[in-house]
A and B are shown apart, each in its own frame.
Chain A
Amino acid sequence: MLLRRNTLKIRSSEITPEHVYLSRRRFMRLGALALGSAALTACGGQLGDTLAGRTAPAGTREPLPAPTGSAEIKRDEFGDPANSFETISTYNNYYEFTEDKEAVSRLAANFKAEPWTVTVGGLVNNPRTYDIDDLRRKFDQEERIYRLRCVEGWSMVIPWIGFPLHKLLKEVEPKAEARYVRFESLFDPQQYPNQRPPTFYPWPYTEGLRLDEAMHDLTLMVTGLYGKPLPNSNGAPLRLAVPWKYGFKSIKAIVKIELTAEQPKTLWNTMAPHEYGFYSNVNPQRPHPRWSQATERRIGEPGRRPTLMFNGYAEQVAGLYAGMDLQVNY
């Protein structure tokens, strides 16, 4: 135990990424109140760890030991470390189960993610129904480390496993008149307590993308996480990851994909159109009426960091929206 605090050796895993360091510095610059935070940090526990930038999974007594080699830490292209498997799979917005993010993983424990089929149809030449195993075999499964920015103002870095949606769409051959892709989640009140009446939401959950967004290489059909099958709480067995859009666009537990000519209705846009637009691209310049979109809290990090346009994917996706007023088309 004493050797753990060997000050001469600094593991590369202990070197703080620059912008974390900078945000922490901004945090600490603030004189007297910083002392209070320092005191809280010194008190330790979960809050102390968070303020010190030491992450620990929820629901465990001890913080996880830091991985010994930097190679083991997965990072996004900015060098930010991925959140732990525990954090990613136990802090979820999955309203079919509950609105309580902490309770989802427990309620989802017995969810039946196998067998599972997905129908792909609508305006396509080859409508098909795929078994989830077909999809896993047919398309190479690759790891993509994406940032996920929730519309609520928090974010994570997540090493998804999956395949780009365009591979699947090419197989079914969209017709010329297809302009949008509509996604539908499972409707099963037996399994989803929050779908049982009386329910407030127009289930099933639906989402949509413009066809060019759906064909973009970043748009991922997700089947796994950290090299393992996708946890139930994250939308097993098949979900979407559209990293430049707010998290709710990345629909979970997909059973149906449909190509349409008209812009499809989506659940949140139907419920509160002035709050959740069809596009819902991450945009720090467009405040949400009830919370900040200019900054975000990276889970496991102290303070807040600035939110990046298109969640940091502007270089890849800004072209999709050339000439569009994103204040209007939010």
Chain B
Amino acid sequence: MTIDSVMTLSNIHMRFPFGEDWRGRPHGFVHALNGIDLEILRGKTLGVVGESGCGKSTLAQVLMGIRKPSEGEVIRNFGADHDVQIVFQDPQSSLNARMPVWRVITEPVFAVTKRPKAELRALAADLAAKVGLRPEVLDRYPHEFSGGQRQRIAIARALSSDPDVIVLDEPTSALDISIQAQILNLLKDLQAERGLTYIFISHDISVVRYLCDEVAVMYLGQVVEHGASDAVLAAPKHPYTRLLLDSIPTMRATGGLGESLSNTDLPSNRNLPTGCFFKDRCELAGVGCDVRQNMVPTEQAQVRCCQTAATTPQKVSA
């Protein structure tokens, strides 16, 4: 089986020093990422989910190459002139209000190489049409647009350097539901047309289910479950994934909410827990949980939990 991966992360660790004593030595480290292994498949969408503070944004920064990991290796399987682009959550602050739209869209191009203005404008017009903006918007300024249109501008900008990978950092969470659907469909169409690879960071499980081929669940800087999104979201194996899915408020929720939300504070990432990171919040915690867990393959996903691995029938080997 050959895996066509566009990026490979192996054992990525990311630590940030905090505080300083009088000699400039840090008081300690914030452990944002603690050993991430991911294959990012070409032309697919990988969803990254997890609660606030689990390291999703740091992971995005490592993927984009604006932060060097403290440990581990990022392998990029694409040409030097291609790159990773990003679409941010908040289209208010991600577009410079002092630039006309055509400049915003083509910034990834003219930031790197000088191009004639006519060429940039033509590129902007082309991309604007692709993302469903009318050509007369090009000379306006970003504040004249609604959230959904601004997000279209941000997507056009991400496309302008013809990237292989686009990181989508909660691109729809600041938008109305109806606009969300439009943007998601636009993203899907663009992916089909251009063979883009998406890394989709989100809180919204239903959006992940709609858009993503694979999903990686993060907890305290680790991936705790990774597999096909249908499988993972339909039948979560890791107790944390279950907790995450249970905590989505639904119209049909009948009790159980209080139970699953009990003891739900994320442990400090300054002093990492010993043993399994999740054991203090885990209902399955028991023998074997006081050692660090490794990813274990199960039927359809990889899970970082010894208990699940032990209780799941090992069909993989069969």
Same complex for A and B? Answer: no
